[in-house]
Amino acid sequence: MKLFNLKKLAGIMLVIAGISSGLLAQEKNDAIAIFNQGVELMKANDPKALETFEKCIVMCEQIGDSAADIKAKAVSVVPDLYYKKAYNLLKNDKNIPAAIAASRATLKVAEKYDDPNVVVSAEQLLIQAYVNMASGYVSAKENAKAIQAFDSVLMIDPSHLTSIYNKALLYKGLSDDAKFAESIDLYIAKMRASGDTSKLPQAQKVARDHFRVAGGKANVANKLADAVELLTKASNYGTDQNLCYQFASVYNKQKKFDKAADYAQQGLELEPGTTPEAKAKYYYELGTAQAGLGKTSEACETLKNAMFGPFLQAAKAQRTNMKCQ
**HSE of 310 in the Cβ direction (CA atoms, 13 Å)?**
3
Contact at 8 Å (CB) between 249 and 285?
yes
Residue 24 pLDDT class (50, 70, 90 cuts): low
**pLDDT tens profile 211-249:** 999 999 999 999 999 999 999 999 999 999 999 999 999
Give CA–CA dist 70/156, Å, rounded.
34
Q: Which among 156, 73, 75 is positioned nearest to 122, based on CA atoms?
A: 156
| DSSP string covering 146-196 | HHHHHHHHHHH-TT-HHHHHHHHHHHHHTT-HHHHHHHHHHHHHHHHHHT-
**pLDDT tens profile 278-290:** 999 999 999 999 9
Distance of alpha carbon 59 from the chain centroid: 46
Q: Homologous superfamily of 248-325 in CATH?
A: Tetratricopeptide repeat domain (1.25.40.10)
Q: Where in the chain is the domain with CATH 1.25.40.10?
A: 248-325
Residue 7: its pLDDT value, please?
47
For the whole model, what pTM was predicted? 0.84
